[in-house]
Amino acid sequence: MENPGPWTAAAAAATGERIRALRGQRGISLSELARRAGIGKATLSGLETGTRNPTAETLYAIAGQLGVPLAMLLSAPGGAPRAPEVHGTAVTARLLEVFQDGGTSTELYRLDIRPGVLQTSPAHPPGVIEYLTVFSGTAQVGPVGGPLTVRAGEHVSWPADTPHTYAALGDLPVQASLLIRHPLG
């Protein structure tokens, strides 16, 4: 897939439209979604109008409260993902592909984890599992209370329906792939 580049006004507007539409379909007010996601009402309003670029943590919090995979906020419905990189405290993620089979949606991301910082991601909906394969570096990932260490060439998975962390151990960044499997329905 071609590199869509940094966040543009068009990407921010499209993501905002998807958030607003999903919120409307669920009958949740802007204030209520902001409260549930633990973000400011002005932040959510700015995201919905396309005037703010979201962080990974903010998008995950919103997706979790809407009960949808992150990819639903980043990619056009029925189309190939066209999202730019999403940056968090420690993680830069690029959505590469979304697969749907049976009752499951699987998102594939390219992940870079910067050393020296810890990123905590909010809980996903029940039944979501994350699978990380590390290509270079050493990562510490997984549930806040029991993170797992994974080295280059290794793979780990964990239930992601509780808050979980990402960190690069040592001085080198981590390059990895991340699969997130969401039960549908």
The CATH number of whichever domain residue 15 belongs to comes to 1.10.260.40
- Looking at residue 5, what is its pLDDT? 47
46 belongs to a structural domain? yes
> Distance between CA 105 and CA 69 in Å, rounded?
8
| Residue 92 shares a structural domain with residue 179 | yes
- Provide the percentage of residues in the chain whose pLDDT is more than 90: 57
What is the rounded distance in angstroms from the CA atom of residue 116 to the CA atom of residue 100? 35
The per-residue pLDDT for 6 is 57
Q: If we measure between CA atoms, which residue out of 69, 71, 23, 28 comes closest to residue 47? A: 23
Q: What is the pLDDT of residue 102?
A: 85
CATH number of the domain bearing residue 102: 2.60.120.10
Cα separation, 165 vs 144, in Å, equals 6
Task: For residues 103 and 67, state if they share a domain.
Answer: no
Whether 106 and 63 share a structural domain:
no
Q: How many domains does the chain have?
A: 2
| Stretches in the chain below the pLDDT threshold 50 | 1-5, 80-81
Question: What pLDDT score does 91 carry?
Answer: 94
Specify the pTM. Answer: 0.77
Q: Cβ(46)–Cβ(52) under 8 Å? A: yes
Per the structure, the complete domain to which residue 116 belongs is given by 88-183
